[in-house]
Amino acid sequence: MHGHTPRRRFGQNFLADPHYVRRIVDAVNPRPGEALVEIGPGLGALTADLIARAGHLQAVEIDRDLAARLRERFSATQLTLFEDDALRFDFARLSAALSAPLRIVGNLPYNISSPLLFHLAADTASLRDLHVMLQKEVVARMTATPSTPDYGRLSVMLQVKFAIARLFVVPPGAFTPAPKVDSAVARLTPLGAHAPQLDDEPLFARLVSAAFAQRRKTLRNALAACCTPDDLRAAEIDPQARGENLAVADFVRLANQLSGCQGSEKPLSRGEKYA
Ligand code: SAM
């Protein structure tokens, strides 16, 4: 650990097994000239191999002590380091500055993995792909299909923007300190031109949240504040179904239909609109 005491608040479990470092870097397959960005380089386990393959790397690290160590170890021609919070970092701006879509890599701090993925999903136009290591259960939720226990808000909100593949599992023993759970590496590739057209993204997000807020509720009840059973039927959705039964395309169809017939900030039922 080279004298560094891992900070739990920054989710510091450092990758210490060269076998998994190689597998992750092979999965990314970085090439010179690409806009490669590491989130949370930490003690540099992945950083050194990424630089060896790409020549230059951008990185965002929140821990000042680790940032100072990274600056000592890597030259400015190898590493451009942003001492910043990745949750607030403007990745779109970095992509514009580099005139290239970003390839993001990270053994992500588990305590912020979902908000970080939502932050990155907010602007997929500036992304080429993401390779992230997360808690295995989170990857299961990201890749889940409808009518399975892991399918939920995270599945729908990410699958509407990305093709997601689970690549391989990494056991706790590969890290120092060892986490209590297995991890998994996932690849997320923006759908680009194949992404479904969302007429009103905030409305879509609110619908998905409401549909999964209480999983056992039927959509008729879970979405009562947003739409009527007739709205659901008009979008070819059974009001007695549950959120977990709807495919991503069903949520898109419903949100676009509500957006088309309302055009308001907050989704209203048709009854309210015409009242
Ligand atoms: N990449 C290293 C590795 O594989 O060994 C470290 C991984 S460790 C799980 C997570 C890293 O992300 C730590 O270096 C931590 O300081 C950093 N980190 C935690 N929260 C962060 C945030 N909000 N923004 C940027 N970096 C963060």
Q: How far is the CA of 99 from the centre of ligand 1 (A)?
A: 26
127 touches ligand 1 (CB under 6 Å): no
pTM, entire model: 0.93
At residue 121, what is the residue type? A
11 touches ligand 1 (CB under 6 Å): yes
Check residue 57 and give its pLDDT. 98
Q: How far is the CA of 11 from the centre of ligand 1 (A)?
A: 7
Three-state DSSP state, 65: helix
Check residue 256 and give its pLDDT. 95
CA–CA gap between residue 261 and residue 274 (Å, rounded) = 10
Compute CA distances 136 → 81, 139, 171, 179, whole Å. 28, 5, 10, 12
**Regions of the chain with pLDDT less than 70:** 1-2, 262-275
Return phi, psi of residue 149, to 5°.
-60, -30
Closest atom, ligand 1, to C-alpha of 10: 19
Q: How far is the CA of 162 from the centre of ligand 1 (A)?
A: 23
Check residue 110 and give its pLDDT. 87
268 touches ligand 1 (CB under 6 Å): no
Q: How many CB atoms lie within 10 A of CB 67?
A: 18
Whose alpha carbon is nearest atom 12 of ligand 1? Answer: 40
CA–CA gap between residue 3 and residue 132 (Å, rounded) = 26
Q: How far is the CA of 195 from the centre of ligand 1 (A)?
A: 30
Q: How far is the CA of 188 from the centre of ligand 1 (A)?
A: 19
CA–CA gap between residue 162 and residue 227 (Å, rounded) = 27
